[in-house]
Amino acid sequence: MVIKFWGTRGSIPVPGKDTIKYGGNTSCIQVITDNGENIILDCGTGIRSLGNYLVRTNHSFEKNLKIFISHTHWDHIQGLPFFLPFFQKYKIDIYINSKESMNLDEVLNAQMHEYFFPVNPDVFSANINFHKLDTSKKMTIDSVDIEMMDVNHSAGTISFKLSNERGSIIYMTDNEILYNAKDEEPTFNRIQELNGKLIDFCKGTDYLIHDSMYLYEDFKNRIGWGHSNNKSLSLFSILADVKNLIPFHYEPDYNDDILDKMVDQTKEYLQKENSKIYVMPSYESLEIVI
């Protein structure tokens, strides 16, 4: 499978000359299976360019597009009404955690209510079907197995693990790695104690895409906001024994220079623990092949 990044930013898009290297669009990742099926993870503003690309290249026109939504916070759905395949004869399946209290079609209807948008979903030509996810069950699309896990964020937020016979990648955006952040530095013991289930879920994965919203030094004012800092993420990654760490969902106020610093710091945190984990920061157009 090929994994391609179309949006790596958290909270709000931040286009401009200061965010060219890592990108300004909010969360969206495309996964293409070995037989050309498209799995899309989240619908931040990055999905607009992805949709244009799919239509322009006639990519998988005869096939379904399958969209998996980690949760319905604005930065993970705000690109949906601008997704060009909705306006074409595609068959699109949208999957959201069944714990979401909002009815699934309401997510789209609500963001296209006349208070917020000039037209409603009736303008779409695609055959759009909504599905509730049962996070306890494994799904298989083409040759890719998909497993899910609840994370430490607003209720109903989930992570996805995609694997085939060659390896695995985990998409864990919007997750706060827990420790006693008000009183102590992150430690292996505390992180293991408070995040054991998630560490088990990530154990030995080839690629971990994970929320790295804040530098450690900026985290003290953001405890409990549902996002992680790069120091706790480094320790978490060591405990989970991942091969490659992909920081993701960057704080919108961080320009490219600050993100360069974050990447360097993350490498230092890992080296200090003699870890061999490779840090591969996400940026728009990054591609990985498994």
Tell me which residues touch Zn ion (CB under 5 A).
Answer: 10, 73, 75, 174
Report, in Å, the least distance between residue 70 CB and Zn ion. 8
Closest to Zn ion by CB, 37 vs 75, is 75
How many of the other CB atoms lie within 10 Å of CB of 103?
12
**Rounded to whole angstroms, how far apart are CA atoms 200 and 237?**
11
Report, in Å, the least distance between residue 258 CB and Zn ion. 18
* CA distances to 31, 33, 141, 257, 260 from 136, in Å: 22, 23, 16, 41, 38
Closest to Zn ion by CB, 73 vs 161, is 73
To the nearest 10 degrees (0 to 180), the angle between helices 230-240 and 188-202 is 60
CA-based nearest residue to 78, from 47, 118, 113: 47
CA-only gyration radius of the chain, Å: 18
Closest residue to Zn ion in the complex (CB): 73
* CA distances to 71, 122, 190, 211, 258 from 265, in Å: 29, 48, 21, 15, 10
Report, in Å, the least distance between residue 137 CB and Zn ion. 24
140 in Cβ contact with 53 (< 8 Å): no
Task: Let me know if 198 is exposed, middle or buried by CB neighbors in 10 A (0-12, 13-18, 19+).
Answer: buried
Report, in Å, the least distance between residue 154 CB and Zn ion. 6
CA-based nearest residue to 282, from 46, 117, 49: 46
Report, in Å, the least distance between residue 7 CB and Zn ion. 10
Closest to Zn ion by CB, 198 vs 238, is 198
Maximum pairwise Cα distance, the chain:
56
- Kind of pairing, strands 2-7 and 28-32? antiparallel
Closest to Zn ion by CB, 179 vs 250, is 250
Closest to Zn ion by CB, 117 vs 225, is 225
Report, in Å, the least distance between residue 174 CB and Zn ion. 4
Tokens representing residue 27 in the block = 């969360």
Closest to Zn ion by CB, 38 vs 173, is 173
Report, in Å, the least distance between residue 189 CB and Zn ion. 28
Closest to Zn ion by CB, 48 vs 73, is 73
Closest to Zn ion by CB, 12 vs 126, is 12
Report, in Å, the least distance between residue 9 CB and Zn ion. 9
